[in-house]
Chains A and B, each alone.
Chain A
C-alpha cells in the first residue's frame, strides 16, 4: 500500500470483521527518538495461538483467516526494512492488539498519507462501533471518538454525507495543527 493510513484502515477493518465493539487506535510520532509507532487494540473475537502466529505468514493463511490476507505480512516486512518491528497479541474471546514501529526518518518509510480520510471513513462506515483515535506528535496530541461525535451530532447519523464531510474536514484541520 502506498500510505500507512491505508494499512491502518485495513487493520481497523480487521477489527470490525472480528466483531469488535470497541477499537482503539494509538499513533505516536516522536522526532527525538526517531520513531513512528501505531497500535490497534480491539475487543473482537480474538485468535488462538496458532492463528496469531500465522497472521504474518501469507502462505499458511487458511480461508478462515482470509480476512487478514496479505495486508499484515507486507506491512511487517516494510516495518523491518525501516529498522522497525511488529507484534501481535491475541486471546480468543478477549480481542487482539497489533503494533508496528518504523524509524521515522527512514527513507523507505511509507508516508502517513490521508489519515483524516481513514479516521472519518471509520466513523462513517462503522458508526455502530465505538472507535477511539489518539495521535501524539512530539508532546502534542489530538483525540477523537465515536462517543464524542455522537454527543455532538445527537440524532443526526454519522453517515449523513454532510456530517461525514464535516468530520473529515475537522480531523484534517486538527491534524494540521499538530
Chain B
C-alpha cells in the first residue's frame, strides 16, 4: 500500500472503497466475529484480526462485516474468531496471523472450512 500521510490520501481511499461497494448487493455475505477480551488481546487477537483485514484487502474481497463479539468464555482457546457463512457459525481457536490469512482465503472467500482449527460449529 502506498504511504498515507495526509487526510487527502485518506479521501482517495474512501473513493476507492466506494467504487468497490458499487458492485456490492445489499447485506454483507460473510460476518466475522472477533473477541477482544483481556486474554484474547494478550494472546494476539489484535494481530490476528489485522492479518485478516490485510488479507481481505489483498484479495479485494469486501463483502464482510467485522464485528467485536465479546469473550465467549473460551479463554484457553483465545484468540477466538468466528465466521458466519452459508448458514453456519464456525469458530476457530488459537488463531495466529498466518491461520487468520488462511481462514480468509479458504473459508471466508471460498467457503471451505479449515477443519483442523475448528473448535465449534453451529447452525444459525
Contacts and interface: CB of A to CB of B under 8 A. Distances in A.
Most chain B C-beta atoms within 10 Å of own C-beta, residue among A2, A152, A174: A152
Contact of B65 (A2, A69, A121, A159): A159
A170 B10 contact: yes
Contact of A156 (B3, B21, B42): B21
B58 to A, nearest CB: 9
B22 to A, nearest CB: 11
A6 to B, nearest CB: 5
A164 B46 contact: no
A20 to B, nearest CB: 13
A160 B41 CA distance: 22
B7 interface: yes
Contact of B46 (A67, A121, A166): A121
Q: Is the interface of B mostly helix, strand, loop or mixed?
A: helix
Given A165-B57, A170-B10, A160 B37 contact: no
Nearest to A173: B5
Nearest to A160: B17
Contacts of A152: 7, 10-11, 14
Interface residues of A, number: 40
B1 to A, nearest CB: 6
Interface string A148-178: 0100111110011111111111100110010
A12 to B, nearest CB: 9
A177 B62 CA distance: 31
B53 interface: yes
Interface in A1-46: 1-2, 6, 9-10, 13, 16-17
Contact-residue size bin, chain B (C-beta under 8 Å from the other chain): 35 or more
B46 A9 contact: yes
A6 B4 contact: no
Interface of A: 1-2, 6, 9-10, 13, 16-17, 67, 69-71, 114, 117-118, 121, 124-126, 149, 152-156, 159-170, 173-174, 177
10 contacts: A9-B46, A10-B38, A69-B39, A114-B47, A121-B36, A124-B53, A125-B36, A125-B49, A125-B67, A152-B10
Interface of B: 1, 3-5, 7, 9-11, 13-14, 16-18, 20-21, 34, 36-39, 41-42, 46-47, 49-50, 53-54, 56-57, 61-62, 64-68, 70
